[in-house]
Chains A and B, each alone.
Chain A
Amino acid sequence: MSAPDAEILARLQFAFTISFHILFPTLTIGLAAFLFFVEAAWLRTKDETYLRLYHFWVRIFALTFGMGVVSGLVLSYQLGTNWSEFSRISGPVLGPLIGFEVLTAFFMEAGFLGVMLFGWNKVGPRLHFLATFLVAFGTMLSSFWILSANSWMQTPQGAHLDPVLGSFVPDDWLAIIFNPSFLYRLSHMLTASFLTTAIFIAGVSAYYHLAGKHKALAAKSQSIALWAILVLAPLQIFIGDQHGLNVLAHQPVKVAAMEANWDRQAGAPLILFALPDSKLEKNHFEISIPKGASLILTHDPNGVVPGLKDVPKEDRPPVGVVFWSFRVMVGLGVLFLLIGLWGAYARYRGTLVHDVWLNRLCLAATPAGFVATLAGWFVAEVGRQPYTIYGVLRTADSASPVISATMIAATLTAFLIVYGGLFGAYLYYLVKLIRVGPALPAPENEDETPEAIRGARPGLVVPGE
């Protein structure tokens, strides 16, 4: 087989393993914050409902965290096996950023996760709360470093390519870390995690309402989730808009692909539907709103929007994927806004628990946050093509030179099978945990002695050993 096949296969493999991975941190970043919130509420109010919510959601957190750890480990080695040229050239910049993620975040999360999951009877409630806080803080620190690294690949600065070494040499670390797209991307992703988690919790709570189970608990988690959605959905739309303006300034061709806009033009239309054709450099079946894109992107109906034809064909990203992923993301964002508003209206009317259609909508939307997050990442990453480091290093020059297409195809197949099986098992146990649901408060089943539930309360603490 020829060289381009190996490159495409390596790209497919990385796209698959990293898309698979990001699903789990997206949920654990949000759930860690949620657990921190309910544990704080429990310590403040001593309302047992919060404690039972904690014990239920921490199991889902643990299951998901484990998946994130193992799928993340793969990525830290895959950069070397499949993308050795990329690693050699950009290692001096990206290595320390990833290293700082491990040093500051992973160890803290891993160290205190044990206390958080297994330490209820071994440490006091305040220390346990500290462990929850540190795990939640760790997930955010981790996002900080990894999004800094990703953003540097999108908007590189603060380093130069050394012709003798053939690799980057960092000049200014603050400029590298706080590169122009970093804070936009970080806030967009953290908000996406919180929103995805809120949508997920609202969905699970809606399931209990519709099934008539765990009413008190579900009412509490639904209330928290819908408040969060009401605040986060419009916030995310605002952040997304700001991020879009930043992309327009630094990666105009990506914006042109997002809008499927071929020619640079003033008063560019907002395309609602189209089948972009990269060969003919035009769209089929286009439905659009006049001047819409200019208004959104430049906040001026006659503003100039860049076109794909601004750069030669070989410098353009695949248009269809970017265009449609962007529409999926935005469409779901609007849906989340509607859920938030509907929730507020139902709350005002006092029908939150009984609103069957709201609950059905929430149930149906349970996985929608993950879809939106993945779609957003497709826009960012496919839109960066044909570069790994935007404008500097091409994807074709990043792959490992000696690894054959056959080898990559074999490992890709193995990843598809193994990850497929794992994901099936994960969903199976996730659904099982949700179906069984939070434990009942009364000591009617043998696992549910009051001591077990209140295990962490002072005076009832079972000494370690």
Chain B
Amino acid sequence: MDLALIAAGVIAAGILIYIVLDGFDLGVGILFPFAPDDTSRDVMMNSVAPVWDGNETWLILGGGGLLVFFPVAYSTALPAFYLPVMVLLFALIFRGVAFEFRHSAHTSKFLWDRAFFFGSLVATFAQGVLAGALIQGVTIVDRRFAGGMFDWLSPFSILTGLGLVAGYGLLGATWLVMKSEGETQSWARRAALTLGAAVFIAMVAVSVMTPLLHPAIAERWFGGINALLLAPVPLMTALNAALLYYGLLSGRERLPFFSAIGLFVWGYIGIGVSLFPNIVPPSLTIWEAAAPRSSMIFALGGVAVTLPMIFVYTWYAYSVFRGKASEHGGYAKH
């Protein structure tokens, strides 16, 4: 059995779940200062407060998972992306504590509103930069990072950073269409229309630039019969974009959120197609980076037992807080 392939599947799925889940609550943070009024902001905060912590746990699983299954990927990618990773962590700190501090604050509330916004914005941008930097590749010699401290910085990684800001913004806006009512909802709908266009432009730009980065990626997409086999990827992306706009314009409440997720899933699959079987492009494959067999078996066994349980109680936690969020919500009065 190819354990490295299975482990790569687990990590890929974990990161995708992270992107979708934390994506919408980071997106809510990005939209925060643009909301029509303070009541809307309370609704926005309450719609994500019970679940953000669980969402962010998938990021710890991403980092932990790399260390577990692909220690060489973890120990080469993290030094390579030192600065953007540090910036990401600081940004997540600010937005994380903003949830609790804002709730306890009165006169200093505005401060934590800003921490929530800037933290969400910067964390999202940093994640987008990291994605772009990974796609463009890392210099590795003898299983160690051997490049410069600013290799990650390029027009391409800036583009993916901006693209992700629009993308998470779209997830946040469509989440709010589903979770809010009245003025907040119609504002979120308008925001989603604009952000959807921005996401579409960014996805087209990234799709054009990626094959230009490495001939191998162009060969993967356009070589021989591949163009035909992989045609569903761009087609499904376009279909989801169409569904998104249909949902937004026809007043549907759930369809926009789920088609925005669809956009992310197919975009993610597209990146996977470009990179496979590399885990740290352009040269480190999943088999070269894999942990010893005894580590793989132990950890995969744990994943097989715990992941179904995690799905069950994550679903339960969401179902407790289903329905529209209110401005009051929050803690039980005490």
Contacts and interface: CB of A to CB of B under 8 A. Distances in A.
Given A73-B56, A108-B313, A401-B144, A66 B99 contact: yes
A62 interface: yes
Given A98-B64, A402-B145, A422 B50 contact: no
B93 A422 contact: yes
Interface in A39-84: 52, 55-56, 58-59, 62-63, 66-67, 69-74, 76-81, 84
A411 B143 CA distance: 25
A99 B64 contact: yes
Interface stretch (B35-43, B203-211, B256-264, B299-307): B299-307
Nearest to B81: A81
B93 A84 contact: no
Interface stretch (A89-97, A274-282, A345-353): A89-97
Contacts of A433: 104
B82 A170 contact: no
Contacts of A122: 320-321
B292 A70 contact: no
Contact of A71 (B49, B93, B306): B93
Contact of A69 (B53, B85, B324): B53
A112 B243 CA distance: 34
Contact of A414 (B90, B292, B295, B333): B90
A270 B102 CA distance: 51
A429 B60 CA distance: 27
Given A69-B96, A112-B317, A114-B317, A102 B50 contact: no
Band of interface residues on B: 35 or more
B323 interface: yes
B169 to A, nearest CB: 22
A314 interface: no
Residue among B54, B71, B324 with the most chain A CB within 10 A? B71
B254 to A, nearest CB: 15
B321 A91 contact: no
A273 to B, nearest CB: 40
A207 to B, nearest CB: 18
A69 B79 CA distance: 23
B146 A402 contact: yes
Contact of B67 (A91, A123, A165): A91
A155 interface: no
Contacts of B333: 439, 447-449, 452-453, 455
A465 B323 contact: yes
A358 B264 CA distance: 61
Band of interface residues on A: 35 or more
Nearest to A76: B63
A214 interface: no
B101 interface: yes
Given A76-B60, A119-B320, A112 B313 contact: yes
A80 B317 contact: no
A111 interface: yes
Nearest to B316: A111
A242 to B, nearest CB: 29
B134 interface: no
Contacts of B267: none
A120 B330 CA distance: 10
A402 B218 CA distance: 32
B152 to A, nearest CB: 13
A449 B333 CA distance: 9
B100 interface: yes
A178 B249 CA distance: 59
Given A74-B93, A91-B75, A63 B59 contact: no
A55 B333 CA distance: 8
A99 B92 CA distance: 21
A104 B101 CA distance: 28
B53 A113 contact: yes
A81 B86 contact: yes
Contact of B75 (A58, A88, A98, A407): A88
Interface string A421-461: 01001100100110000110000000111001101100000
A453 to B, nearest CB: 7
Residue among B82, B101, B306 with the most chain A CB within 10 A? B82
B26 to A, nearest CB: 14
A96 B69 CA distance: 8
A287 interface: no
B264 to A, nearest CB: 21
A118 B74 contact: no
A15 interface: no
B121 interface: no
A257 B89 CA distance: 36
B143 A88 contact: yes
A272 B323 CA distance: 64
Contacts of B66: 80
B104 A102 contact: no
A70 B71 CA distance: 23
A106 B60 contact: yes
Contact of B54 (A88, A98, A111, A117): A111
Interface of A: 52, 55-56, 58-59, 62-63, 66-67, 69-74, 76-81, 84-85, 87-88, 91-96, 98-104, 106-108, 110-115, 117-123, 162, 165-167, 169-171, 173, 400-404, 407, 411, 414, 418, 422, 425-426, 429, 432-433, 438-439, 447-449, 452-453, 455-456, 464-465
29 contacts: A52-B334, A56-B334, A58-B331, A58-B334, A59-B104, A59-B334, A66-B99, A70-B97, A73-B93, A77-B89, A79-B67, A80-B67, A87-B67, A91-B74, A92-B292, A93-B295, A96-B298, A98-B67, A101-B64, A103-B303, A110-B57, A112-B313, A118-B49, A167-B71, A169-B292, A425-B101, A452-B333, A464-B320, A465-B323
Given A114-B317, A119-B321, A425-B97, 7 more contacts: A59-B334, A81-B86, A111-B313, A111-B317, A112-B313, A115-B317, A403-B79
